[in-house]
Each structure stands twice: as structure tokens, then as C-alpha cells.
Amino acid sequence: MREELTPSDRGSLMAERGPINMAVGGVMVFERKPVLTRATVIERISERLHLIPRLRQRLEEPPLGIASPVWTDDVNFDLEWHVRQASLPKPGGEAELGQFVGREFSHRLDRSRPLWEITLIEGLEGNRRALVLKAHHALVDGMAALALGALLLDPTAEPMEIAPPEQEWAPLPYDMRKHVTKLATTPITRAAKPVFEGMLRALDPSPRRAVTDALKAAQDLRKATDVALELAKNRPTAPMLPLNRTISANRRYAIEHVDLVTVKKVGKLAGGTVNDTMLAVVTGMLARYISAAEGTELPGEARMTPLKRNPIALVPVSVRTETESGELGNRISTVFVDLPVDEPDLLKRIARIHAEMSTIKDSAAIRAGEIMVGMTGLAPPLVSGLLVLAMGSVRAFNMVVTNLPGPQVPLYMKGVRATEIYPLAPLNPSNQGLTVGLLSYNGTVCMGVLADRDLEPGLSVAVEGLEAALAELHAAAR
């Protein structure tokens, strides 16, 4: 009847305030023949929808923010509503595709429905088509997004045979009183019993008393977050960059790609991994962006000047176990990585990043990051949201860089081959104006760059920096 959210799932829900949109996703580009149609996409999903029950579930959020939301069956689920279709204006190139994706991720998903959408895109150059996948971060993290892609795709042109469900899906209704009553008896919430007693009273016809009791209990629980807030504030402050202004609700998006063999070759020359090499490429992009931004106005009537310390990237790290590989929801930790923009030589940048990443992996940083993610679930959402907001008020990092290891074989939908798969990571918190998503797929590293529409210098400057950094990569491989 219902399923609890993980702590980090709840944190991503609380982070979605003001200009923050916590939708993640990606773009799959397909060959022009056979022609991919909306009917084909709907047919494929309907054949396999029973494999991921969460796709027919919606959030149920008890009032007053006292009890955490849960996943419940959507009694009004309509698959056709979740699969849309759109056409690009001519010439239908990467610029037009990026503009569409930017607009699509400028509005939030409807929380009254299951938190995902798929749009079939027509009008790409060469008569190709694409799928834009959009799902809330509470539904899928990056690794689970790959599992969601596996729902759509096959490892061969011949579709896999999937057994149909044993019985027709029938949604189960949600009972809020049973939910809150059960919460009041669980070990983690016994200390907060007054909160849940207040919540139960809120379900009875005495609203004034219920609201008073609930707010008083919430104020008491708020004190429990003090230690967590101090941990967040004790991070070294990252340098101020033009990326770190308060963002708007609107987005821009761009894509690039590079051959994986080239990345591996250069990484080996420098003694680094694919991840180290791509972080060094992003660092090269950022160095060029910072150079172009010198003299740009910053918040507080300051201007961009040469940096006294290197920028910091937040790099999510999957901590899923093999037994969790097929589950949705979030299983991530986070680490902070210095990006050596002061090093002009690509190979030396790779070596420096490799040394730092090796130190991080041998330390307690990953475990500490997992604890910080988990801490947002140790209290009801009214309180855990305070921690999420506090993390956003401290400039502990300048940008997010995600890197997902994707399948190294071609994937197909009903016999139509996917040629590229580009990821998208949301802008969060509200002073982060640029993210870079990386995904290796079938011998190619696909890059998706998401930016605030009002970023100054704009996304085009960052993309020019990325193209220059990739040219540097190709030169090192020769």
C-alpha cells in the first residue's frame, strides 16, 4: 500500500524550493531507421511497466510536514499522459535540441502524479529522433536512471522476451491515519512521539489545537539539527565564481562527446583513470571560463579577480552494493574535489586529480558523505529541510560533476539503435549555476552541461571552454 522514501530521497524533495528543480534525466539519440514512434515507446513501456512498480506510484505527503512522504499507488495512473511528443525547429541540430531540453527542465514535475515523463523528439538533423527522459531525483539517482533506461532498451536489435505480469495491476488505496499511527510506534520516532500525536489530532476536527501542537513539536525537533548545521558550516569556503550567483528558475543545456579510447589513452599517459581524465577536462573548461569572466561583476558589488585558491567540485559517488543494483531510489555519497585550474598542462592536471582522488578513496570522506546524506532522514521533513537549506547557504563547492559508467555495447528500442546517451544533473543548491554530467556509452563519453539561463558569462562561453579542453585532450592523444 505504501513504501518509505530513503533519507536522501526525502532530502531531494526538501531541496526543491525557490528556483531549484530536482529533476534528473537525459537525452537518447536514435538512428533514423527504423522510425521510432510514440506508439512504439508506449508499447515498450506498457510491456515492462510491471518490472518497476514505482513508475505507477505517486507521492503522498501528510499535511503540516510532520510525517515524511511515502510512495503510494496512483489510482488515476495514465501511461499516455507520461509519454509526450514534440518537434524541433529547423535545422534540428544540437543547439535546437539543447534549447528544448533546457526549457523542459525549467519546469517541475507534477507531484500529484508519478514523478517521470518521456518526450519523443522529431525533427533532428538526418531525420533522426530522440527521447528526453525526465524523472525526479527522489525517484532515481544516476545509477538507477541507467536501470530505468534498461526498461526501455535492449542489448540486441532483437527485443528481449519479458514475461507478462501474473495478474493485472490494481492500485491499492492509501490510508493516512494508518500511516501516521505506524510511524508513531517505530523506534526512530518514539522520541518524537508528541509530533505524531499532534499529527493524529490534526486528522481529527480540532485544527487549532492540532496546528499548535504540531508546530511546538517541530520547534523542539529543530534543535536536533544544530550539530548537522555546524558540520555543514565548517567546510572550507569555495572561492566566489560567476557560477555562484543566485540562479533563476530557467535553464539552458548543451551536449558534447568524445571517444572513450582517446580518454583512456590520455589517462594512461598521465597515470590516471577515465574519471580523473574527464575531471581534468572539466577543469580545463572551468579555467577558460574563469579567464573569460575576469572583471565580471559578482554578488556584493565585487568583481572577478585572479583566484587565491582552486575551485571545488562536488562529485557524487555511488555506494550501491551488488544486491541493490536493481533498485530505484538514491544510494549515493559525496566527495569534494579541488579542480586545479592553476595547472595549464593537461597531463599534470590529470596526475594531480588522480593523487587527490586516491587520497579521498582511502579516507573516511566517502563514508562521511554517506552519513551527511543519511542525516537528512533522521527527522521529519519539516526539520530535515533545515539541513538541506543550510548546506545551500554555505559555499562548500562551486559546481557538481557527475560521471556514470554506462554500457559499452549498443542498445536498442524495438530494433532502433541508440547512438548517444547524454545525462543531465540538476542545479542545486540555489547558488550553483552550472553542472556537468558525464556518461560513457558504447565507446563514447557523452557530456551534458546544464546552466542557469541568466548565467553571466553564459553557457555558450562554458561550451567554448569545453570544446577547447577537448581539443587539448585530442592533441595529447596524438
Q: Mind listing the pLDDT tens digit for each residue in 88-99?
A: 999 999 999 999
Mean pLDDT of 246-258: 96
Q: Could you tell me which of 199, 160, 206 has the C-alpha nearest to residue 181? A: 199
- Quick one: CA torsion of 52, 25, 338, 228, rounded to 10 degrees? -60
Task: Please tell me whether residues 218 and 243 are part of one structural domain.
Answer: no
Task: Please tell me whether residues 108 and 197 are part of one structural domain.
Answer: no
Q: How far is CA 70 from CA 74, 348, 465, in A?
A: 12, 48, 43
Higher-pLDDT residue of 398, 307: 398
Q: How confident is the model at residue 206 (pLDDT cuts 50, 70, 90)?
A: very low
Give the domain CATH number at 25.
3.30.559.10
Of the chain, the percentage scoring pLDDT greater than 90 comes to 46
According to DSSP, residue 244 is labeled G
Task: Please tell me whether residues 7 and 138 are part of one structural domain.
Answer: yes
Task: Please tell me whether residues 103 and 241 are part of one structural domain.
Answer: no
User: Could you give the angle at which helices 193-202 and 176-183 cross, rounded to 10 degrees?
Assistant: 160
Task: Please tell me whether residues 142 and 183 are part of one structural domain.
Answer: no
Q: Does a structural domain hold residue 415?
A: no
Degrees, nearest 5: CA angle 398-359-316: 40
Q: pLDDT at position 229, please?
A: 47
Extract the C-alpha cell encoding 198: 499532534
The residues facing 258 across adjacent strands are: 445
Q: pLDDT at position 13, please?
A: 84
Mean pLDDT of 336-354: 94
Task: Please tell me whether residues 144 and 199 are part of one structural domain.
Answer: no
Q: How confident is the model at residue 473 (pLDDT cuts 50, 70, 90)?
A: very high
For the cut 90, the answer to whether the pLDDT of residue 385 exceeds it is no
For the cut 60, the answer to whether the pLDDT of residue 186 exceeds it is no
- Quick one: CA torsion of 374, 376, 380, 383, rounded to 10 degrees? 160
Look at residues 120, 152, 184 and tell me which one is the last residue of a structural domain: 152
Task: Please tell me whether residues 201 and 301 are part of one structural domain.
Answer: no
Degrees, nearest 5: CA angle 366-368-371: 115
The residues facing 469 across adjacent strands are: none
Q: pLDDT at position 138, please?
A: 84
Q: pLDDT at position 397, please?
A: 83
For the cut 80, the answer to whether the pLDDT of residue 114 exceeds it is yes
Q: pLDDT at position 166, please?
A: 84
Domain of 221, in residue numbers: 176-225
For the cut 50, the answer to whether the pLDDT of residue 202 exceeds it is no
C-alpha to C-alpha distance for 297 and 173, rounded to whole angstroms: 54
Q: pLDDT at position 146, please?
A: 58
For the chain, give the mean pLDDT: 79
Task: Please tell me whether residues 46 and 138 are part of one structural domain.
Answer: yes
Task: Please tell me whether residues 84 and 25 are part of one structural domain.
Answer: yes
Q: Does a structural domain hold residue 157?
A: no
Q: pLDDT at position 204, please?
A: 46
Task: Please tell me whether residues 81 and 135 are part of one structural domain.
Answer: yes
Q: How far is CA 239 from CA 35, 159, 355, in A?
A: 49, 50, 22
Q: pLDDT at position 294, please?
A: 81
Q: Does a structural domain hold residue 440?
A: yes
Give CB contacts under 8 A, 24+ apart, made by 97-101. 97/27, 97/121, 97/124, 97/130, 97/255, 98/252, 98/253, 98/254, 98/255, 99/252, 99/253, 100/132, 101/27, 101/132, 101/253, 101/424
Element (H, E) at 439: strand 434-441
Task: Please tell me whether residues 93 and 187 are part of one structural domain.
Answer: no
Q: Does a structural domain hold residue 343?
A: yes
Lowest mean pLDDT among 175-189, 301-315, 392-406, 423-437: 175-189
DSSP 357-416: HHHHHTSSHHHHHHHHHHHTTSS-HHHHHHHHHHHHHS---SEEEEEEE--SS-EEETTE
Degrees, nearest 5: CA angle 200-381-139: 115
Extract the C-alpha cell encoding 436: 556537468
Looking at the 3D structure of the chain, how many domains does it have?
3
Q: pLDDT at position 477, please?
A: 95
Higher-pLDDT residue of 303, 193: 303
Task: Please tell me whether residues 192 and 90 are part of one structural domain.
Answer: no
- Among positive and negative, which fits the CA dihedral 334, 335, 341, 347? negative
Q: How confident is the model at residue 50 (pLDDT cuts 50, 70, 90)?
A: confident
Q: Does a structural domain hold residue 167?
A: no
Mean pLDDT of 256-282: 96
For the cut 80, the answer to whether the pLDDT of residue 143 exceeds it is no
Q: Does a structural domain hold residue 414?
A: no
Q: pLDDT at position 368, please?
A: 52
Q: Does a structural domain hold residue 333?
A: yes
Q: Could you tell me which of 99, 131, 127 has the C-alpha nearest to residue 418? A: 131
For the cut 50, the answer to whether the pLDDT of residue 402 exceeds it is yes
Q: Does a structural domain hold residue 159?
A: no
Q: Could you tell me which of 118, 181, 174 has the C-alpha nearest to residue 151? A: 118
C-alpha to C-alpha distance for 200 and 187, rounded to whole angstroms: 18
Q: How confident is the model at residue 219 (pLDDT cuts 50, 70, 90)?
A: very low
Degrees, nearest 5: CA angle 100-102-149: 80
Choose from 179-193, 208-222, 295-309, 444-458 the range with maximum mean pLDDT.
444-458
Q: How confident is the model at residue 141 (pLDDT cuts 50, 70, 90)?
A: low
Q: pLDDT at position 58, please?
A: 92
Lowest mean pLDDT among 92-106, 346-360, 364-378: 364-378
According to DSSP, residue 5 is labeled P
C-alpha to C-alpha distance for 11 and 23, rounded to whole angstroms: 13
Q: How far is CA 55 from CA 78, 205, 436, in A?
A: 11, 34, 26
Q: pLDDT at position 227, please?
A: 41
For the cut 80, the answer to whether the pLDDT of residue 193 exceeds it is no
